[in-house]
Amino acid sequence: MRKKICAGNWKMYKTSAEAGEFFDSILASLKEKPNGAEVLIFPSALVCESVAKSVQGSAIQWGIQNSYFEAKGAFTGENSAEVAKSMGATYVLVGHSERRKIFGEVDSFLAKKVAYVQSLGLTPMLCVGEDLSEREAGKTNDVILRQLDEGLKSADTKKPFVIAYEPVWAIGTGKVATPEQAEEAHVTLRERLGGLGESTRILYGGSVKPDNAGELASKKNIDGFLIGGASLEAKSFLQILSSL
Ligand code: PGA
C-alpha cells in the first residue's frame, strides 16, 4: 500500500505569523482527528524557520520549494538543501511548472537537483505536466514522460522520490483535470516507472479544492495531492486531507 500524501505548496504567500496561525489550527485538528496520510507543507524559504518550530515534535513534515545542487558557494539568491536539512526539512520540490516557465529551469538542470537532494537523504518531489497547447496537440504523454525520464536521469532509484503530475493549464486557474484525465496520466507515468511503479507515490496537483478532492482521491493511481491555493487556509487544507 502506498501511503497517501497531502502536500501544500504555499508558493510566495504567508508571513511567519500567518504560518503560525495555520499550524495552530492544523495541529489542534489532527490531534482530535488523526489522519493516516503524510502531511507536508512547502513554505517559502523565509518562513521555513518558523514552520520548523511550529511543527517540531509533530508528524507534519515540511520541505523547500526549490534548491540548488551544491551545498554552499557563490550562488547568490539560491537555497541550500543542506541548510534546509539541518533545519529539519525532509522534502524538496523540484521542477514545479513555475520554476520551469518563469525561471527557465530545464530538465537537465532539474535532474542534477533530484540527484543532489537524494544524496542528502532528502526526498525530491519531481513535478511534471503539460501546458494547454501541448494537451491540445495530443502531446501530453510525450511531455510528461520526457520530464519524468530526464528528471530521473541521474536519480538513485533505490532511494525515495515522489512524482507530482500537475497539468499546467490546471494550476491556479480553477480548471481542474477530470478524475479520468488525471488517472490516465498517472497510469502512463506509473507504467513508465516499470518495477518502481507499484511503490512510487504519484500526486495530482492543479486546482484541487475540497469539492473536487473526493472524486480525484477515489482513483486508484492518485496517491494524494499537491495543493496550491486551497492549502493556504487551514479549513480547506483539512477538508482535502480528509478525502484521502
Ligand atoms: P493550485 O496550485 O492548487 O493553486 O492550482 C497547485 C500547484 O501549483 O502546486
Between strands 202-205 and 5-9, the pairing is: unpaired
Atom of ligand 1 nearest to the CA of 205: 6
- At 104, list the grid cell: 527557465
Whether the CB-CB separation of 166 and 96 falls below 8 Å is answered with: yes
Q: What is the separation of C-alpha 20 from the centre of its chain, rounded to a whole number of angstroms?
A: 21
CA 73–ligand 1 middle distance (angstroms) = 31
| Cα–Cα distance, 88 to 82 (Å, whole number) | 10
Which residues are catalytic, by number? 96, 166
Note down pLDDT in tens along the chain; length 244 residues: 899 999 999 999 999 999 999 999 999 999 888 889 999 999 999 999 999 999 999 999 999 999 999 989 999 999 999 999 999 999 999 999 999 999 999 999 999 999 999 999 999 999 999 999 999 999 999 999 999 999 999 999 999 999 999 999 999 888 889 999 999 999 999 999 999 999 999 999 999 999 999 999 999 999 999 999 999 999 999 999 999 9
Whole-number Å distance between alpha carbons of 27 and 34: 9
* Ligand 1 nearest atom to the CA of residue 97, by list position: 8
What pLDDT does residue 34 have? Answer: 81
* Count of Cβ atoms closer than 10 Å to residue 240 Cβ: 26
Residue owning the nearest CA to atom 6 of ligand 1: 228
- Separation of CA 84 and ligand 1 centre (Å): 23
Beta-carbon count within 10 A of 145 CB: 16
Among 24, 26, 2, smallest CA distance to 227 is for 26
Four-CA torsion 123, 174, 135, 193, nearest 10 degrees: 20
Q: How far is the CA of 95 from the centre of ligand 1 (A)?
A: 13
- Model's pTM, two decimal places? 0.97
Pocket test for ligand 1, best of 207, 216, 240 (most atoms within 8 A of CB): 207
Distance CA 99, CA 107 (A): 11
Candidate from 42, 93, 98, 171 with most ligand 1 atoms within 8 A of CB, to mutate: 171
Grouping H, G, I as helix, E, B as strand and the rest as coil, residue 127 is strand
pLDDT at 206: 96
* Closest atom, ligand 1, to C-alpha of 229: 4
Residue 27: C-alpha distances to residues 33, 38, 133, 236 (Å) = 10, 13, 41, 14
Identify the pLDDT of residue 173: 87
Ligand 1 centre distance from Cα of residue 228 (Å): 3
Structural contact between residues 46 and 83, judged by C-beta atoms closer than 8 angstroms: no
pLDDT computed for residue 33 by the predictor: 83
> What one-character DSSP code corresponds to residue 171?
T
The binding-site residues of ligand 1, defined as CB within 6 angstroms of any ligand atom, are 9, 166, 171-172, 205-208, 226-230
Please choose, from the candidates 153, 157, 132, the residue with its C-alpha nearest in 3D space to the C-alpha of residue 143. Answer: 132
Q: Whose CA is nearest to atom 3 of ligand 1?
A: 228
User: 173 — phi, psi (to 5°)?
Assistant: -105, -15
Helix (H) or strand (E) holding 232: none
Q: Are 38 and 4 in contact (CB under 8 A)?
A: yes
CA 157 distance to own-chain centroid: 18
